[in-house]
Amino acid sequence: MADTGEQYAVTVGGRPYELMPSGGWVILPLHGSKIHHDPSCGHLTDSGALPRYPDPDGLLWRRLLDADDVTAFAEGAQLLNGKGRPVTGVCSCALRPVTESYAADLEYWPVDEALRVFDRDRYLDAVEAAERDAAAIRAAFPWEEWPTLPVERYALGQPGAPGPVYSHVLEYGSKALGSITGGSAMKHLLYRRSDGTWWYDKGHGSLDEAWEAIRSGVVAAVTAAREGRLRDIDDLPAVRSGITVIAKTLRVYAPEATLPVYADSFTQHYLDRLAPGTGTKLQPFARKEALKRLIDADPRFQDWPPQLVWYFLDWWAPVRRTAGRVVRIGLPDAGRWDRFRGEGYIAVDADRIGDLHGYADLDEFKAAYAEAFAGTGHPAERAADLWQLPELRLGDRVVATSGRSEVLGVGKVTDGYRWRADLPDHRHTVDVVWDGTCAGGLDQPVAEWAGRTVTEVPPALWRRIQKLSATPGSAGDGVAANGTAPAGGGSEAQEIPPLEDDLQRIDDALERRGQAVLFGPPGTGKTYHALRYAVRRLGELSDDLPGVDPLAEPGSAAFRETLDALTGSGRLTMVAFHPSYGYEDFVEGLRPVDGAEGLALRPAPGVFKRVCARAAENPGRLHLVIVDELNRGNLPRILGELITILEKDKRGLPVTLPLTGEAFRVPPNVRILGTMNTADRSIRMLDAAIRRRFSFLELLPDSRPLVDRWVGKLHLADFLDELNRRIRSLLDREKQIGHAFFLPGGRPVSSPAEFAAVIRGEILPLLQEYAYDDYTLLAGFLGDGLVDPATHTLKDVGDEPLVTLLYEELQVGAGAE
């Protein structure tokens, strides 16, 4: 790579980076463990005296990231720091983490450069395995039998089928061909529900009619592909909604006609990288045809099998995925651990529910679970726990535990969920390769593990688990050899996992619209989620700031220090709207200043204008404005003409400010995240123009953190669920009580005194406000034992009697009219 000074976008570990070319050599640090491209990098001292390592084609960074054994690679190449230790990572002066929108404006890493370092031999075994899977499907379902294939040989949901079922084999039994797992069974166009009824498009009059149309559509689709008419598949109504199923079917029966890229969004992603602007107005299979023609016309891919082309594309420009999540699976005792570890899997005992692949979605599964385990003491939350098993993907991590603090082992998923009917029990299995690290007792028990089977492992907890066998890292900053990034400004390389689901929803909304609002009843954690997102997302993009830890646990000193560092740098700005907050505060206005003749009014920029100025100076960094209590301000007055240029597609366009006459722009790397309490004001009351420009994410009460948490006889989760059921029945869903009231400091209340303080000081005043002093309504919430409707008073009871009264009313008497 020549020293042209040009930067490229590149994707590493599922995250966008800006690649700064090396110019033919890299700098080796004295103490650190990262290669450097920039001699002025702030992580180096006296770089002029440090050794240079030749990098004639500028691809050492990629070879380092791709090495199977990075330490052996560095030692073999004599890639050593000043202390003789191997250099195993890449500094941010070579690969700088940036926002997706910023990366989208850069030219992507050129194919020629990528082909120079792509190791074809590494993927040949995978190509052969894919062909074996395809051949096995063709043998089990010969093409000549398809015109008369019976529905029993096609559809999911038939546990007693006499032989292999095509939909099951395609989705779960052919992993080498690529995954189409996830989502609903509806993608197969037809399936049998767990209650024995059939699902299919109601446009068909009967099961026979539906199956005849689908089967004919599959035959027509394969025929069109074999004849070079991929785009004609878009005109087949019977199979139009089964894009991934039809695309994978083409891989089996027309393998030379298309690339094994199944999801339509993936097809567009690769077209955007190879030929920007291509395919955006095409239908799905016309898009696949365009991608295949593009590859066929490129001499660089001459004689490449389509499967190998896909492996290259996935390596060169991977699509953002949710893979990489970490889940904990608890074992009721450690007795089975030796077998699980030795045989390379982990299992869960809930056999009476049967194969999870037989359920269309979580709602159907929850209903079946409730029926199967009625009266057994299994809480409904465990259905959602178990449902996470089919969602695990290759490369996801599993933490096996016993009790609330003992980590038995950590491993990576090698195959997805499998129902093992051959086992005597514990038939819900996930294949895992256990790596032999991270075993032992945690310093503190994890309360959330109590009574739960499968739970997400948040980043802060994952770091605690990793420390069970972690070895100290070397000083330096950047990207580790496995493609993971360290904490910004930190000295120890640590893996930063993908965003948790709730934070990913926020990130997606902000990337899509530029601004979003978290709304919901009081106590649902709106500000908490906003701050978590700020620390997590801004933290991983702020590699240049000291004191930033994107994995800091909320409430910890590191979390507060990270917020301080982000705020001090101007990348995070926090404001709260209120009735007197105005345009002058947010955009610009006149402010009194001292002058020669006394005080004078001068134009001064507001909060948002200052944020935009800083963001424009540093376009690769994300700048976030958190607006608390967004709906308490007069939004049309506060935003003024900004209402137009806030839209994502109008970022960067100028608008003339009326006071100063300046041309003002909102940079594309600015995001606004608001919070809104719906008990105060519904989103329906917002100005329509405001609503159209924001994405709205609802946060509702979530009793899961309170499961198996008790105050005396009162179960907190059941208490909250029943209280909110009554509020929804007597008022509306926007006035429910959030779980955060019972989680002061992030931990559930546990004593009668703590619980009573929350009820008296926070819950009762809120309910009294909702009831407008209607004590009959208030008694409907909490019962006559605490409220006297006749005298319009609250009974004066002690802490423990209060707990007993509410237990008897909202748990023993739950659901009573």
Residue 496 inside a domain? The answer is: no
The pLDDT value recorded for residue 493 is 45
Phi, psi at 75, each rounded to 5° = -65, -40
With tokens 């960067």, the residue in question is 652
The pLDDT value recorded for residue 486 is 39
- Give the pLDDT band (50/70/90) at residue 469: low
Q: Is residue 765 left, alpha or beta, with left meaning phi > 0 and alpha meaning psi from -120 to 50?
A: alpha
Q: Could you report how far apart the first and last alpha carbons of the chain are, in Å?
A: 75
Side-chain half-sphere CA neighbours of 25 within 13 A: 8
Q: Which 8-state DSSP code applies to residue 108? A: B
Side-chain half-sphere CA neighbours of 576 within 13 A: 4
Mind listing the pLDDT tens digit for each residue in 55-113? 999 999 999 999 988 999 999 999 999 889 999 999 989 998 888 878 888 999 999 99
CA 226 – CA 257 distance, rounded (Å): 6
Residues in the chain: 817
The pLDDT value recorded for residue 133 is 97
Of 410, 445, 467, the residue at which a domain comes to its end is 467
355/384 same-domain check? yes
502 contacts: CB under 8 Å, gap ≥ 6: 529
Strand, helix or coil for residue 325: coil
pLDDT for residue 46 is more than 80: no
CA 352 – CA 374 distance, rounded (Å): 12
Helices (H) and strands (E) in the chain, counts: 29, 30
Say how many C-beta atoms besides its own lie within 10 A of residue 582's C-beta: 16
CA 453 – CA 365 distance, rounded (Å): 16
| Residue 534, both tokens | 């700020």
Residue 246 inside a domain? The answer is: yes
The pLDDT value recorded for residue 377 is 66
- Give the pLDDT band (50/70/90) at residue 508: confident
What are residue 410's DSSP bridge partners?
Answer: 399
CA 267 – CA 258 distance, rounded (Å): 11
Rounded (10°) CA dihedral 416, 417, 422, 425: 140
CA 84 – CA 504 distance, rounded (Å): 41
Radius of gyration of the chain measured on its C-alpha atoms: 29
Segment 643-665 shows an average pLDDT of: 92
- Give the pLDDT band (50/70/90) at residue 674: very high
CA 792 – CA 770 distance, rounded (Å): 15
User: pTM of the predicted model, to two decimals?
Assistant: 0.77
CA nearest to 699, candidates 509, 528, 525: 525
Phi, psi at 533, each rounded to 5° = -65, -45
301/341 same-domain check? no
Per-position b or e across 643-655, b if 16+ CB within 10 A of its CB: bebbeeeebeeeb
Out of 20-29, 152-161, 707-716, 792-801, give the one with best mean pLDDT: 20-29
The pLDDT value recorded for residue 487 is 35
681/727 same-domain check? no
Rounded (10°) CA dihedral 471, 473, 478, 480: -40
CB 668 within 8 A of CB 512: no
Q: Which secondary-structure segment (H or E) carries 428?
A: strand 428-434
137/275 same-domain check? yes
With tokens 């359920």, the residue in question is 359
Strand, helix or coil for residue 642: helix
The pLDDT value recorded for residue 472 is 40
Cα dihedral 530, 536, 541, 542 sign: positive
569/460 same-domain check? no
pLDDT for residue 605 is more than 60: yes
Strand, helix or coil for residue 107: coil
CA distances from 685 to 527, 673, 674, 733 (A): 21, 19, 16, 16
The secondary structure of 171-201 as a DSSP string is HHS-GGG----SS-GGGGSEEE-TTS-EEE-
C-alpha 624: how far from its chain's center? 19
Q: Judge residue 614's burial from the number of C-beta atoms within 10 Å of its C-beta, 0-12 exposed, 13-18 middle, 19 or more buried.
A: middle
CA 595 – CA 584 distance, rounded (Å): 21
Phi, psi at 213, each rounded to 5° = -70, -45
Residue 485 inside a domain? The answer is: no
Q: What is the chain's mean pLDDT, rounded? A: 88
CA 206 – CA 202 distance, rounded (Å): 8
CA 356 – CA 395 distance, rounded (Å): 21
pLDDT for residue 422 is more than 90: no
The secondary structure of 34-74 as a DSSP string is EEBS-TT-TT-SSGGGSPEEE-TTS-HHHHHHH-SSHHHHH
CA 488 – CA 495 distance, rounded (Å): 12
Domain extent for 626 = 501-698
CA 621 – CA 611 distance, rounded (Å): 12
Task: List, in sequence order, the alpha helices (H) in 662-736.
Answer: 688-693, 716-730
| Residue 718, both tokens | 């059941």
| Residue 612, both tokens | 């935009």
- Give the pLDDT band (50/70/90) at residue 332: confident
- Give the pLDDT band (50/70/90) at residue 495: low
pLDDT for residue 50 is more than 80: yes
Of 643, 666, 698, the residue at which a domain comes to its end is 698
Segment 428-445 shows an average pLDDT of: 88
Q: Which amino acid is at 432?
A: V
What are residue 454's DSSP bridge partners?
Answer: 329
CA 684 – CA 631 distance, rounded (Å): 11
443/572 same-domain check? no
CA 778 – CA 784 distance, rounded (Å): 9
CA distances from 279 to 231, 258, 272, 290 (A): 12, 15, 8, 7
CA nearest to 152, candidates 134, 129, 168, 128: 168
| Residue 271, both tokens | 């077209």
Task: List, in sequence order, the alpha helices (H) in 660-715.
Answer: 688-693
CA nearest to 250, candidates 242, 260, 236: 260
The pLDDT value recorded for residue 597 is 74
CB 665 within 8 A of CB 645: yes
519/613 same-domain check? yes
714/660 same-domain check? no
- Look up the CATH number of the domain holding residue 623: 3.40.50.300
| Residue 513, both tokens | 């619209």
Q: Judge residue 719's burial from the number of C-beta atoms within 10 Å of its C-beta, 0-12 exposed, 13-18 middle, 19 or more buried.
A: buried
Mind listing the pLDDT tens digit for each residue in 268-318? 999 999 998 888 889 999 999 999 999 999 999 999 999 999 999 999 999
Residue 265 inside a domain? The answer is: yes
Q: Which secondary-structure segment (H or E) carries 574?
A: strand 572-576
Segment 672-688 shows an average pLDDT of: 78
E-strand ranges in 650-723 read 655-656, 663-664, 670-677, 695-698, 710-711, 714-715
The secondary structure of 122-143 as a DSSP string is HHHHHHHHHHHHHHHHHHHS-G
Instruction: Break the chain down into helix, strand, coil percent, rounded to 5.
Output: 45, 15, 40
The pLDDT value recorded for residue 175 is 85
CB 350 within 8 A of CB 386: yes
Residue 484 inside a domain? The answer is: no
311/331 same-domain check? no
Residue 126 inside a domain? The answer is: yes
138/236 same-domain check? yes
The pLDDT value recorded for residue 471 is 44
CA nearest to 668, candidates 717, 633, 718, 616: 616
| Residue 733, both tokens | 């869903």
| Number of compact structural domains in the chain | 5
Segment 460-476 shows an average pLDDT of: 65
CB 750 within 8 A of CB 709: yes
| Residue 237, both tokens | 């109504």
CA 58 – CA 52 distance, rounded (Å): 13
Residue 62 inside a domain? The answer is: yes
CA distances from 331 to 94, 352, 766 (A): 44, 18, 41
CB 249 within 8 A of CB 199: no
425/303 same-domain check? no
CB 488 within 8 A of CB 443: no
719/690 same-domain check? no
Residue 114 inside a domain? The answer is: no
Of 698, 714, 747, the residue at which a domain comes to its end is 698
Mind listing the pLDDT tens digit for each residue in 141-199? 999 999 999 999 999 887 677 789 999 899 888 989 998 877 678 899 999 887 788 99
